[in-house]
Structure 1
């Protein structure tokens, strides 16, 4: 039996070192985040949503029926049906039955989003997770800015809409009617500011405050003061005086805040502080 020579030992050592450089220890293996594989209906939803948001499927356009969509996407009709359900829940499509029925592209509107936010913000107020003070602070931030912008951006139509909410004789109207005029005035100011996102944010806050007020507590004196405040705000907006409009709105909301504290407690039984 022939013994190994020193040269062969050197070659073996070099070989082992070379192999060790090529082998990465398990603890040194790079890690990659595990990506969740999206379900089939989610992938169909993603593609349809993308087509809608890019405008390739326009508002009012009728989608192909479930069988056609299933064939196009290579999935079952049940998968397509689930994707359409999610799109409908997000108000991206509406589904109608009957001979002229089907799924039609709708796209969400400002009113739809505001209503959705209103419902959820109302839940927060009822669960006492949002206080009256937080509502009032948010309203001041949004509506004072809106009044300032409205004075700059308002259109003749906006001014006419605001004028229509001013009451000649507040004593002739009942409480419910006063609240309708009040809501319409503030809505007109918000719309007149020309900022859609601000309208979406402000309308639910205003609506929750209105809904939670004890409406039977409104006095004629209170109604008259609100109407006078609206006149002052409108006058500043008509003059195009942004700072005066903001100042009048801030003064109006400060007056309302003191009354809201009492009315909120009567309506909810919750301390406004």
Structure 2
């Protein structure tokens, strides 16, 4: 597998950057705007915007409040948010994609086990919806779209864990990788179409193992995932 450097952020990252810029300098609790208005400003789909909001909340940048007068609000800095900022600061220093991948591969077995233990019906339903996004990318033979859908799936699996430290570290590691990687390619002599078909099936099997509460199968599949 090979990675290539990213020239432009994904649509999720662009939305994250826009909202983070709006929140920067605001006092904790100060309102950025309604969810609909901020989504329109970001110029992304509802699904993409919701994924960006999940990341921003995990990083302690914003909070969401429902109902009249609700919307997006600047969050108070928490120890988890400070940890996220420290991890992201590494991105501008000497951290490489290979470093980030090594840490990611070490954390994913823990996250898979947590998903098996704690995944709700809503979690499982949303994981399958993200699998459908991956299927659409395979049908379109679009490796960039496939990578984005793939990473959205991994982020969503990470969000299942109640362990805030584990979730925060993983999501920020994924942020480092996402900032530096535009696509993931198969090794030599492996056709791209065969590669993404194989990767899709592997992720289908991972979600099925989480849904079945099968620790052994999930662990086996995550090991196979890290070897590709």
Fold similarity call, TM over 0.5 = yes
Measured after TM superposition, the shift of residue 136 of structure 1 is 2.7
In the alignment, the residues of structure 1 paired with residue 155 and residue 98 of structure 2 have an alpha-carbon distance, to the nearest angstrom, of 21
Q: 1:229 aligns with which of 199, 202, 220?
A: 202
Q: 1:194 aligns with which of 162, 166, 171?
A: 162
Distance 1:151 1:105, change over 3 A: closer
**Structure 2 counterpart of 1:108:** 77
In the alignment, the residues of structure 1 paired with residue 83 and residue 144 of structure 2 have an alpha-carbon distance, to the nearest angstrom, of 22
With structure 1 as the length reference, what TM-score do the two structures score? Answer: 0.48
Tell me which stretches of 4 or more aligned residues in structure 1 moved more than 6 Å. Answer: none
Structure 1 unaligned runs (5+)?
1-58, 63-90, 94-103, 256-273
Alpha-carbon RMSD: 3.3
In the alignment, the residues of structure 2 paired with residue 226 and residue 92 of structure 1 have an alpha-carbon distance, to the nearest angstrom, of 33
More strand, by proportion: 2
**Structure 2 counterpart of 1:123:** 92
Alignment of 1:15-94 (within 5 A): 60=29
In the alignment, the residues of structure 2 paired with residue 116 and residue 226 of structure 1 have an alpha-carbon distance, to the nearest angstrom, of 32
Measured after TM superposition, the shift of residue 109 of structure 1 is 7.0
Structure 2 unaligned runs (5+)?
1-27, 32-59, 63-72, 187-191
**Structure 1 counterpart of 2:126:** 161
The count of aligned residue pairs is: 155
With structure 2 as the length reference, what TM-score do the two structures score? Answer: 0.57
Larger Rg: 1
Measured after TM superposition, the shift of residue 163 of structure 1 is 0.3
Measured after TM superposition, the shift of residue 205 of structure 1 is 1.4
